Amino acid sequence: MIKMPGMLLIGSSGRNSGKTRLACAVIRNNIEHADIIGLKVTTITENEGKCPRGGEGCGVCSSLEGDFCITEEYGEEKGKDTALLLDAGAIRVFWLRVIEEKLNQGFEALLQEIPRSAVIVAESNRLRMVVEPGLFLMVADNSSSIKESAERVWNYADKVIYTNGYEFDYNINNITFSEKGWQCN
């Protein structure tokens, strides 16, 4: 387990639950306290050209060559989750696409780009299986279905924040970074 005390990791119970919206708000609220690096991790469980979410997919999984790919975001494609993290005030943003079995190696490679002491706001469920962050938040909507990756890490969450798709049941201004690390009071 890689200890990352400067990392705030945000997971979610399902797609489109608001984790990027939460991540952006946290970055905006804390950029005066630290230089924050944004991170989005897409873990790929199948690399056979099929979308693991069903349907045609977007090509992200099928286009992966090798075990992982690290891309730095420069804000060229507005609206992408990684571009939104950059727009929120992150000094750098990375997207790690990785085969699930190689998640540890992919994250270790990312650590060649950023220091272990970095202040990071990251989006991922599965990353919690290889990283012990300073704070792990889970965003959950009110639907009854929870994706498998969320079930695997649910009990690790320091706090579960519920959303109706528009607002959170928690005052996100209470998620702060200081010399003591990430906290949610």
pLDDT in tens, 16-58: 788 999 999 999 999 998 999 999 999 998 644 444 444 454 4
3-state DSSP helix/strand/coil % of the chain, to nearest 5? 25, 35, 40
Q: Which two tokens stand for residue 68?
A: 């992982």
pLDDT at 144: 66
pLDDT at 160: 94
CA dist 33 → 22, 56, 78, 117, 179 (Å): 17, 42, 26, 15, 9
pLDDT at 30: 96
Nearest by Cα to 183 from 41, 38, 31, 26: 26
pLDDT at 119: 97
- Give every CB contact of residue 69 below 8 A, 6+ residues apart in sequence: 96, 97, 98
- Residue range(s) defining the domain that contains residue 49: 2-184
pLDDT in tens, 50-90: 444 444 544 455 457 678 999 998 877 777 888 899 999 99
pLDDT at 185: 80
DSSP, collapsed to helix, strand or coil, labels residue 101 as helix
Alpha carbon 123 to chain centroid distance?
Answer: 1
CATH code of residue 82: 3.40.50
Split into its structural domains, the chain has a count of 1
pLDDT in tens, 108-125: 999 999 988 899 999 999
